[in-house]
Structure 1
């Protein structure tokens, strides 16, 4: 591993655990210089202060600026920054940049400076360190713009813009992304295909800014514009950031379907990049599934299936399971037992909608058999406050999903049975109409009238009916009369 590679060491490693160069490093310096440099490296772990002095002594041993002096300054600056000696680090960084013009090759200096900026970005952890880092970026820009190193200048500008985002200095960030976009254009104002990656990174930073500012109008325009960039080959993490912000934008618009799609794409990009943010975005994906009311398990896809039993996602897995089974008690228990879920601001803002949906469904199911109940009764069974129950019932009544009246004085609710009364009245009206029709047909229908001979032969009593048996008219002797075959107005015959 080269001397520069140790700048890329993970931030969780020992701060002074820098690695050694391979034997193919330039070794054309004086033996005393080389020995002093490697002796300083031996001191880093146990005596970093003395190591700094040794590293700073290396450039003084050179007759003219060269590789060993450049390397000695790099190591000294790293240690000074790690120890919080920021003023000293800035002074020596200025000296280091003087080596760029002629003492070392352009490719070597570019790689070394870029890796150093990556290193300090990872190790900076307070406002003083951020201020030092900003000074590093500004010095770097001045140097490489003067030497027409446009690529490193763009990289540094992107890093500086990210620093402004972390500091929430939105004014400086806006100016910086405009500068980056302009640098990514040709003279005629068209996009430069060779700089599309930097342009997309600028879009990602700008999109994050507007997402934090909750400026959805501007965010939506930039999001759509970023998705149309085709000339870039960005790091998948950049795509993950853009898609994540897009998902949050769609969530704020209650466009659950588009949000789900954006979060899924974001998860895949973060997963490809090996970013730990994939776990958080996967939680957002599960949250969106519940808001959609979808019955499809988000862990059924090939990409998410390996995370189904991941302990970092288990709470969200159980939440979506209880939601799809309408188990409000289990749902509430999971939220109570996993308070860390609500530490994420985005989840905390949106989980209330899911909880309200769960509780509303539970209330409707609970009160269905009752015509009268108390607020306390609902609160006890759903395990929420009385005020929350009152709010839920109020929404149900306004939405006409429940016809009831709330008596706030005694905390009772009376279900309005007007609908049932209307149904009963309609049934009674229908029965009365049928009875009238039946009477009209039998009393006035020609098929039931007697001719004169039949009327003379017996004492027929018009209008007499046996309402318990049938509507056939009764003969004086007690027998029933019924029409014989022969059509309308035929003779009546009798049956016992």
Structure 2
């Protein structure tokens, strides 16, 4: 009797192996049709799932293949339905490592799926993995960050912040296993920084920027570092710290360029404007890394802007500035740069044009600077107060009279003294600001 049971059990094992082999053959046959006959592939995979009475590994493999073929066919609702079953699959033959591998592969291969469906898949992934962060922490983090990135692309600032906050809290938790989360923290800060920049909350941008660049012992991708520095540059533009803005945009451009990121073109535009506003004499397009972009259609107006500014050519600057404004319709903070540059250019042109003369008609200056009389008055007063032009205004006769240093009157001296006081206060403020930055 014992021998009878022994052989009966052995026969049962052989029967199970035979069924497993048949399911494997059916799965392979169905999967091979994925590229040539996707509908037949779907039918074959569903048959494998139906015939797998144990609902084990062949069901799991079939579901994964159904996700893939549905994506290829553009049947995204079916894709999500099968993917949700993959995420929640529970069987002794399929461990957590296999589940994580399947979900990770799906996310990596689904970047071209329409945004709405990709967002739903990422939400499903984040929800499922959040139930067991000990096993799925990396996958949960990646799903949350990718979903927040989609929200950022849609300019949904509030949702980005609410999506990242729990991830940020997780990054800051004490990890008993010694898992270093500096890189994850950097990614979170970078996303929040971009969200605050889109929302133009410059106070939060400033705080987040210094928090981000203070993270050490992490090596982030060039594109992420570039985006952080670009946000910092825009913040400096808002605070009109042109030198810091120029240096920060310069670093951002280098990172974008190293990573081959297309955002380098837009960053180069900011770099050109802040270079001029900082008073730097650097010829940006003389460097090998920027020379290659001088003839790019989007950069040509900016190259022309630099040439017009260096030559004090107001007419050419104005015509070129109109083209530049079209590049920044959604960037009011940067549009201010053009107005400031134009004002600086007119001041430079005024000083350069007036220098050889002893008396100069205001009407003549109006035609040179392309402004009205009131604006000429303002520019002359600014030039005198900044000490770049020794002159006085004769409004009765409509002329500007150039003076030697010994001929400067008490009113002009008062203006010059006031200007020196303002400049000293401004320099003190800048030094204090940088000291505070270093201590943050």
TM (norm. structure 2) is 0.72
Distance 1:342 1:180, change over 3 A: closer
- Corresponding residue number in structure 1 for 2:71: 78
- Corresponding residue number in structure 1 for 2:348: 361
Task: Write the distance in 2 (CA, Å) between the matches of 1:163 and 1:227.
Answer: 24
Greater RCO (CA < 8 Å, at least 6 residues apart): 2
- Corresponding residue number in structure 2 for 1:135: 120
- Corresponding residue number in structure 1 for 2:431: none
Distance 1:102 1:277, change over 3 A: farther
2:82 to 85, 88, 92: 92
- Corresponding residue number in structure 2 for 1:60: 49
User: How far is 1:240 from its partner?
Assistant: 0.8
SS at 2:172 equivalent: coil
Task: Write the distance in 1 (CA, Å) between the matches of 2:76 and 2:124.
Answer: 14
Task: Write the distance in 2 (CA, Å) between the matches of 1:196 and 1:157.
Answer: 17
Native 8 Å contact 1:298 1:304 kept in 2: yes
- Corresponding residue number in structure 2 for 1:456: none
Native 8 Å contact 2:42 2:66 kept in 1: no
User: How far is 1:296 from its partner?
Assistant: 1.3
Matches within 5 A, 1:210-225: 210-225=196-211
User: How far is 1:162 from its partner?
Assistant: 2.0
User: How far is 1:158 from its partner?
Assistant: 1.2
How far does the alpha carbon of each residue in 1:170-196 deviate from its partner, in whole angstroms, 9 at most, with x for none? Answer: 3333333221122123438x9966221
**What 5-or-longer segments of structure 1 have no aligned partner?**
1-26, 45-49, 408-412, 426-496
User: How far is 1:277 from its partner?
Assistant: 0.8
Matches within 5 A, 1:85-484: 86-99=76-89, 106-107=96-97, 109-124=99-114, 129=116, 132-147=117-132, 148-187=135-174, 194-301=180-287, 303-336=289-322, 340-343=326-329, 345=331, 347-366=334-353, 369=357, 370-374=359-363, 378=365, 380-382=367-369, 384=370, 386=371, 390-391=374-375, 393-397=377-381, 400-401=384-385, 403-404=392-393, 414-415=398-399, 417=401, 423=407
User: How far is 1:141 from its partner?
Assistant: 1.6
User: How far is 1:227 from its partner?
Assistant: 1.1
SS at 2:280 equivalent: coil
Distance 1:201 1:146, change over 3 A: same
Native 8 Å contact 1:100 1:106 kept in 2: no
- Higher-helix-fraction structure: 2
User: How far is 1:202 from its partner?
Assistant: 0.3
Task: Write the distance in 1 (CA, Å) between the matches of 2:290 and 2:22.
Answer: 54
Task: Write the distance in 1 (CA, Å) between the matches of 2:31 and 2:127.
Answer: 29
**What 5-or-longer segments of structure 2 have no aligned partner?**
1-20, 386-390, 410-440
Task: Write the distance in 1 (CA, Å) between the matches of 2:319 and 2:92.
Answer: 67
Which shifted more, 415-424 or 214-223? 415-424
Task: Write the distance in 1 (CA, Å) between the matches of 2:233 and 2:344.
Answer: 21
**Which of the two has higher C-alpha Rg?**
1
- Corresponding residue number in structure 1 for 2:423: none
SS at 1:41 equivalent: coil
Instruction: Report the aligned-residue RMSD.
Output: 3.7
Task: Write the distance in 2 (CA, Å) between the matches of 1:347 and 1:423.
Answer: 41
Distance 1:406 1:252, change over 3 A: farther
User: How far is 1:364 from its partner?
Assistant: 4.2
Aligned length: 375
Task: Write the distance in 1 (CA, Å) between the matches of 2:328 and 2:256.
Answer: 22
User: How far is 1:290 from its partner?
Assistant: 0.8
Task: Write the distance in 2 (CA, Å) between the matches of 1:55 and 1:238.
Answer: 44
Distance 1:424 1:269, change over 3 A: closer
- Corresponding residue number in structure 2 for 1:41: 35
Task: Write the distance in 1 (CA, Å) between the matches of 2:94 and 2:310.
Answer: 64
SS at 2:33 equivalent: helix
